Amino acid sequence: MANTTNNVINIGLGNFILAKRIIAVVSPISSPMRRLKEEAKQGNRLIDTTQGRKTRSFIITDSNHLILSSVLPETIIDRLERHTMESESLSNSAVGSVSTDGINGSGSIDSINKDNEVD
């Protein structure tokens, strides 16, 4: 089973969302965004995580849910970018830990075995 703690983004007040489910993070200020909120509410797709605080961002998910957050969109995007960079560095370090000596390296398999012998 995959470790999901590395796959979540903090959206404020102890609430988290899976990073791969986020489609967009937008500001709720414009009239179209307010209409989007009403449509989501009528369609039972609205999730309010603000706990009574001012809504500062809307998070749109791949399941067409709209999540209200009290965290600024810029902050959520920064957290998402940081998550993406950490995920990429983990996958690159896993690939980088595989030795390519003997396949594309400078020596043959025999010379590698000789280098690894204990006297």
Helices (H) and strands (E) in the chain, counts: 3, 6
Q: In this structure, what DSSP letter does residue 26 have?
A: E
**Structure confidence at residue 22 (pLDDT):** 97
107 falls within a domain: no
Total domain count, the chain:
1
| Token couple for 115 | 């280098």
Q: Are 53 and 11 in contact (CB under 8 A)?
A: no
* Structural domain includes residue 106: no
pLDDT of the residue at 100:
47
Domain of 59 in residue numbering reads as 22-84
Residues 64-90 have a mean pLDDT of 94
- Greater pLDDT, 6 or 95: 6
Does residue 105 form part of some domain?
A: no
What contacts 115, CB < 8 A, 6 or more positions away? 107
